[in-house]
């Protein structure tokens, strides 16, 4: 049995290496690649993707899996090897349903779609991106056709990112969450609005960049195993447990967002850097799901990075760096300003009280596109109508509306709900963390974040993809994904800020 397991792990390691090659190509495309390389890069990604798919779906891996599953019957189900077999079987069965030619076509289409999205966004012209998105939607519908009928076609896409979760479950969670968030927003709307003009003036980009890396270092990001670069849309990727890349961006109209973008991506990066080294080059070497991954980024960005104890430590340093902008601004006003609640156009800049509504809108549009009830050509109009309905604001152009997110250009439909689910998980974890580390706020005031990172390493990070998302959340917090802690967190925080 040991010989067969070693052979399987050897083959999976080669698949992992090929996936890493594709990730390097994708990272370069979004950071340093010249625009003229787009077509060639699409071919590179297609070739690597096709070879990876063929290698992973080989008969050799299939036979080894079947043999090992038989030999492991009755063995400890939570052992690393048993969980590796379970996850590999899931991914193998999924991959063998998808032809290699489709994988190659998908890589070419999405590579071109990304370049079209960049151009369309820069020109605020959805028509440039429309034909590419239509092809992406068609490919996703074809992908769904490779699988047995599900309760809802969207289930097949969602399962790629949230193992075992169903569309109906997500809709039920959102249906329970939406009215409570709307009630909070109505209460806040009845109060005097906070002055945050200090956020929308000129800040030196390099100083912000350097300060963001100071914060990431304090959080525990290992620069010997990671780096930060610029991209049109912030993201995190990894080529190994020991090579994790984060990116951020500078926005002239809201410069300090760069700090929170870095904190967000650092949360993702810390997760990848904390995975059990024994899982390197196996399917277990990655976050268990995108929602759990998002819980880490939102926790560090918001529950830590927008907290008063955090800024009690860091604000004096920010004032020294920017004496003109915030030198004479008291900490209380700064704290309220960075936590201001106001319906906004851009999802990544949305405050905690409105963010989930952006996600609910996108989920509705994605389901409509997959069902065929929403046509791609109608997206800009429908987007604007839904933004008005959900948030009471209407984008002035496509760049600040339907073109603001990168995800559809990469073909990742089924992804967006994980952002809101991540918010909910982060609050569930936060309640447990504060129960286990009662002096956490005092540690933050001293600039000490090691206790928090150690807790996350032990409870979440080290397990990689060993457990399914709902299983992991229940193991750590005692319940499956639940909106209650998040609503309690929002109500307490904003009651204090707005005097509700």
Q: Which residues are catalytic?
A: 265
Task: Show contacts of 53-60: CB within 8 Å, 24+ apart.
Answer: 53/95, 53/98, 53/100, 53/103, 54/100, 55/11, 55/14, 55/15, 55/18, 56/15, 56/91, 56/92, 56/95, 57/92, 57/95, 57/96, 57/100, 58/11, 60/11
Q: Which residue, chain included where needed, has tokens 């792990």?
A: 9
Q: Which residue, chain included where needed, has tokens 């880490």?
A: 296
Whole-angstrom distance, CA of residue 140 vs CA of residue 147: 12
Whole-angstrom distance, CA of residue 452 vs CA of residue 41: 40
Nearest to 294 by CA among 459, 409, 411, 421: 421
Nearest to 262 by CA among 184, 318, 210, 222: 210
Listed in sequence order, the residues at least 6 apart from 113 whose beta carbon sits closer than 8 Å to its beta carbon are 129, 132, 133, 135, 136, 408, 409, 410, 411
CA 238, 407, 130 angle in degrees (round to 5)?
A: 145
Contact 452, 299 (CB under 8 A): no
As a three-state string, the secondary structure of 331-360 is: HHHHHHHHCCCCCCCCHHHCCCCCHHHHHH
For the chain, give the longest Cα–Cα distance.
Answer: 70
- For 198, 256, 311, 332, 487, the CA distances from 336, given in Å and listed in that order, are 11, 14, 11, 6, 19
């Amino acid at each position: 049995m040991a010989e067969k397991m070693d052979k399987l792990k050897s083959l999976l390691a080669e698949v992992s290496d090929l996936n890493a090659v594709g990730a390097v190509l994708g990272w370069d495309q979004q950071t340093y690649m010249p625009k003229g390389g787009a077509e060639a890069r699409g071919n590179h990604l297609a070739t690597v993707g096709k070879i990876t798919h063929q290698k992973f779906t080989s008969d050799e891996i299939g036979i080894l899996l079947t043999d090992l599953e038989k030999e492991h019957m009755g063995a400890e189900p939570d052992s690393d090897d048993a969980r590796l077999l379970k996850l590999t079987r899931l991914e193998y069965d999924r991959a063998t349903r998808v032809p290699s030619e489709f994988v190659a076509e998908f890589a070419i289409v999405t590579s071109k779609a990304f370049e079209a999205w960049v151009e369309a966004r820069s020109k605020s012209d959805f028509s440039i991106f429309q034909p590419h998105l239509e092809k992406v939607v068609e490919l996703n519908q074809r992908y769904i056709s490779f699988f047995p009928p599900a309760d809802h076609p969207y289930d097949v896409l969602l399962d790629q990112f949230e193992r075992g979760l169903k569309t109906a479950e997500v809709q039920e969670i959102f249906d329970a969450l939406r009215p409570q968030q709307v009630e909070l927003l109505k209460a806040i709307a009845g109060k005097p609005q906070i002055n945050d003009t200090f956020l929308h003036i000129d800040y030196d980009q390099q100083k912000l960049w350097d300060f963001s890396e100071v914060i990431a270092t304090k959080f525990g990001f290992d620069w010997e195993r990671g780096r930060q670069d610029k991209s049109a849309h912030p993201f995190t990727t990894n080529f190994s447990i020991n090579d994790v890349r984060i990116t951020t961006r500078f926005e002239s109209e809201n410069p300090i967002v760069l700090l929170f973008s870095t904190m967000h991506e650092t949360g993702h990066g810390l997760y990848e850097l904390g995975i059990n080294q024994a899982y390197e080059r196996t399917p277990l070497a990655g976050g268990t799901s995108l929602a759990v991954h998002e819980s880490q980024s939102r926790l560090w960005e918001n529950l830590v990075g927008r907290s008063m104890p955090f800024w009690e430590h860091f604000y004096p340093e920010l004032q020294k760096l920017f004496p003109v902008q915030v030198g004479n601004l008291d900490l209380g006003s700064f704290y309220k300003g960075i936590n201001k609640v106001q319906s906004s156009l851009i999802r990544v800049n949305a405050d905690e009280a409105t963010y989930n509504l952006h996600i609910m809108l996108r989920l509705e549009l994605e389901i409509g596109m997959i069902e065929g009830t929403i046509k791609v050509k109608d997206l800009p109009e429908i987007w604007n109508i839904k933004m008005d309905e959900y948030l009471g604001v209407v984008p002035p152009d496509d760049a600040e509306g339907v073109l603001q997110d990168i995800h559809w250009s990469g073909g990742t439909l089924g992804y967006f709900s994980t952002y809101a689910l991540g918010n909910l998980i982060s609050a569930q974890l936060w309640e447990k963390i504060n129960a286990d580390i009662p002096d956490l706020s005092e540690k933050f005031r001293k600039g000490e974040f090691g206790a928090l990172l150690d807790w996350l390493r032990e409870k979440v990070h080290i397990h990689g993809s060993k457990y399914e998302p709902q299983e992991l959340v229940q193991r750590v917090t005692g319940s499956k994904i639940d909106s209650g802690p998040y609503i309690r967190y929002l109500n307490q925080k904003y009651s204090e800020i707005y005097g509700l």
